[in-house]
């Protein structure tokens, strides 16, 4: 059997995408997702635009190609700056505060409310996309609800470029070895626990393979993404709908906290002490975790980390996020990255025009093939690179299925502070430093001040 490597994966993906594109050039493969060219008759793009983002190498390589093409077609100078993620938010923040922010920046969607509320981002120029209004733009160009996510006080301040929602990844080979049906993944959390007990392995009293593993060591945004569906699955909310009250100490919140911690504490099917530099998907690639919840981007990474031995569509299955009961509607959590245009930009119209060029079906297809990044363009799941590549197709279908049930959680100015405090709260329960009730009450008390800002 041919061994898959990361390079091979990307080549395969490009081939599937490329083949489809060749057909598209003849007018077939992309026909169902075809779009009209933007009608930007009122102005002509010109000048220079500065673009800041953080991304992985395959994405950067392809984005640079898109920029070069745009530059060749329009004469606009696109100055790209790629910044490592660890420094990214700080650099963007300080540049904007000193009035030297770039024309275009790609930020986590959760930060848009803050930037919009401080008057740092300009409103979406739908004319640059050839649409009369943002509402029309949402309907015409983007997957349902993804542009709407970038609103603040009913106005649009950004456009989506990267979507991920949480799903269950499981090792089919581990399932088989444990006597479980690899084609019937767990649909409820109680099944996850039951299956996890069969899948977990120990040696010398230490866990060597987690039946189910959270994202440990914890990272605030991932702690938040994991806890949110556990709360909302029960009908609860982390923050009240009016955004004024923290509700972690509710029945649903405390139950969710307990369940999160009980994976290690009570059921012993996962462990914070089982770590890998690439988190729980590194463990899955290594054979040290049989089930994880994570986002679609890890599909390609697992493949690459394992040298092609472990891959979605091969020996890794994907399934919807488990629920507490089957009666409940499906639930997942997710996040979007999006583009904002500096309100002070002297070349805002060109910046929006460039975004229209970037966020096309064609680029979405090739970007998916080249880097695994999913641009939430309309019918992204039907792009040739999504349906033609068996390593990607299951995740794309699942993402599309989950999309109507995906929660992006509360949008607050103090979002970063909230997720940091939530992460501290969750880990204090896991570490046995506080009971879930006390920790949740403490979180709610601390959030009172955050919600005032």
Share in percent of the chain as helix, strand, coil (round to 5) = 45, 15, 35
Contact in structure between 266 and 273 (CB atoms under 8 Å): no
State yes or no: residue 435 binds other proteins (CB under 8 A): no
State yes or no: residue 204 binds other proteins (CB under 8 A): yes
CB atoms within 10 A of CB 226: 20
The residue from 26, 27, 179, 277 that contacts other proteins (CB under 8 A) is 277
SS3 of 396, please?
helix
CB atoms within 10 A of CB 401: 14
Size of the site for other proteins (CB under 8 A): 39
State yes or no: residue 288 binds other proteins (CB under 8 A): yes
Letters for 211-250 (x = contact with other proteins by CB under 8 A, - = none) are -----xxxxx------------------------------
Q: Measured between alpha carbons, how far is 413 from 348 in angstroms, rounded to an integer?
A: 24
Contact in structure between 318 and 398 (CB atoms under 8 Å): yes
- Centroid of chain to Cα 9: 21
Residue 74 class from Cβ within 10 Å (0-12 exposed, 13-18 middle, 19+ buried)?
Answer: middle
At a CB cut-off of 8 Å and minimum separation 6, what does 126 contact? 132, 133, 134, 136, 137, 156
Stretch that binds other proteins, among 55-63, 165-173, 364-372, 411-419 (CB under 8 A): 411-419
Letters for 371-390 (x = contact with other proteins by CB under 8 A, - = none) are --------------------
As measured in angstroms, the least distance from the Cβ of 2 to other proteins is 28
The residue from 427, 436, 440, 447 that contacts other proteins (CB under 8 A) is 427
State yes or no: residue 209 binds other proteins (CB under 8 A): no
Q: How many residues does the chain have?
A: 453
Contact in structure between 188 and 169 (CB atoms under 8 Å): no
Stretch that binds other proteins, among 10-18, 44-52, 311-319, 416-424 (CB under 8 A): 416-424
- Cβ proximity to other proteins, 36 vs 86, nearer residue: 86
The residue from 8, 74, 77, 416 that contacts other proteins (CB under 8 A) is 416
Letters for 113-132 (x = contact with other proteins by CB under 8 A, - = none) are -x---xxx------------
DSSP state of 234: T
State yes or no: residue 430 binds other proteins (CB under 8 A): yes
Nearest to 388 by CA among 24, 14, 27: 14
Nearest to 234 by CA among 216, 250, 245: 250
- Cβ proximity to other proteins, 72 vs 86, nearer residue: 86
- Cβ proximity to other proteins, 191 vs 417, nearer residue: 417
Looking up tokens 């275009």 gives: 104
Letters for 54-93 (x = contact with other proteins by CB under 8 A, - = none) are --------------------------------x--xx--x
SS3 of 398, please?
helix
The residue from 420, 435, 438, 441 that contacts other proteins (CB under 8 A) is 420
Stretch that binds other proteins, among 7-15, 111-119, 240-248, 321-329 (CB under 8 A): 111-119
Kindly tell me the sign of the dihedral angle through the C-alpha atoms of 181, 187, 191, 192: positive
Residues that bind other proteins (CB under 8 A): 86, 89-90, 93-94, 96-97, 114, 118-120, 204-206, 216-220, 272-277, 288, 414, 416-417, 420, 423-424, 427-428, 430-431, 433, 442, 449
């Amino acid at each position: 059997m041919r061994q898959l490597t990361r390079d091979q994966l990307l080549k395969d993906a490009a081939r599937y995408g490329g083949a489809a594109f060749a057909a598209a050039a003849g007018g077939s493969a992309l026909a169902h997702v075809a779009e009209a060219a933007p009608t930007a008759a009122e102005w002509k793009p010109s000048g220079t635009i500065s673009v800041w983002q953080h991304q992985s190498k395959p994405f950067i390589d392809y984005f640079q190609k898109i920029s070069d093409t745009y530059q060749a077609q329009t004469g606009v100078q696109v100055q790209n700056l790629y910044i490592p993620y660890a420094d990214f938010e700080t650099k963007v923040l300080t540049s904007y505060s000193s009035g030297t922010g770039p024309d275009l920046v790609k930020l986590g969607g959760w930060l848009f409310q803050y930037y919009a509320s401080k008057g740092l981002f300009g409103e979406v120029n739908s004319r640059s996309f050839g649409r009369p209004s943002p509402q029309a733009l949402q309907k015409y160009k983007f997957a349902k609800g993804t542009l709407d996510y970038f609103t603040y006080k009913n106005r649009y301040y950004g456009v989506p470029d990267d979507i991920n929602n949480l799903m269950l990844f499981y090792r089919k080979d581990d399932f088989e070895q444990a006597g479980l049906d690899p084609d019937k993944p767990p649909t409820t959390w109680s099944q996850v626990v039951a299956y996890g007990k069969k899948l977990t392995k120990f040696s010398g009293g230490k866990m060597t393979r987690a039946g189910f593993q959270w994202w440990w060591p914890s990272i605030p945004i991932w702690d938040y993404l994991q806890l949110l569906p556990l709360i909302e699955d029960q009908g609860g909310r982390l923050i009240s709908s009016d955004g004024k009250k923290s509700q972690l100490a509710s029945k649903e919140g405390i139950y969710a906290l307990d369940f999160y911690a009980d994976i290690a504490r009570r059921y012993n099917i996962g462990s914070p002490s089982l770590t890998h530099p690439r988190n729980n998907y590194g463990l899955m690639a290594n054979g040290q975790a049989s089930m994880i919840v994570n986002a679609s981007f890890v599909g390609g990474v697992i493949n690459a980390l394992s040298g092609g031995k472990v891959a979605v569509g091969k020996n890794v299955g994907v399934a919807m996020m488990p629920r507490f009961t089957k009666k409940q509607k499906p639930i997942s959590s997710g996040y979007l990255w999006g583009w904002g245009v500096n309100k002070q930009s002297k070349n805002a119209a060109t910046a929006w025009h460039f975004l229209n060029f970037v966020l096309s079906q064609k680029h979405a297809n090739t970007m998916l093939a080249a880097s695994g990044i999913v641009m939430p363009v309309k019918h992204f799941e039907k792009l040739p690179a999504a349906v033609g590549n068996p390593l990607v197709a299951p995740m794309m279908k699942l993402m599309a299925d989950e999309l109507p049930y995906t929660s992006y959680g509360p949008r607050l100015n103090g979002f970063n502070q909230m997720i940091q405090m939530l992460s501290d709260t969750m880990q204090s329960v896991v570490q046995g430093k506080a009971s879930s009730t006390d920790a949740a009450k403490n979180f709610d008390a601390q959030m009172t001040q955050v919600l005032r800002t």
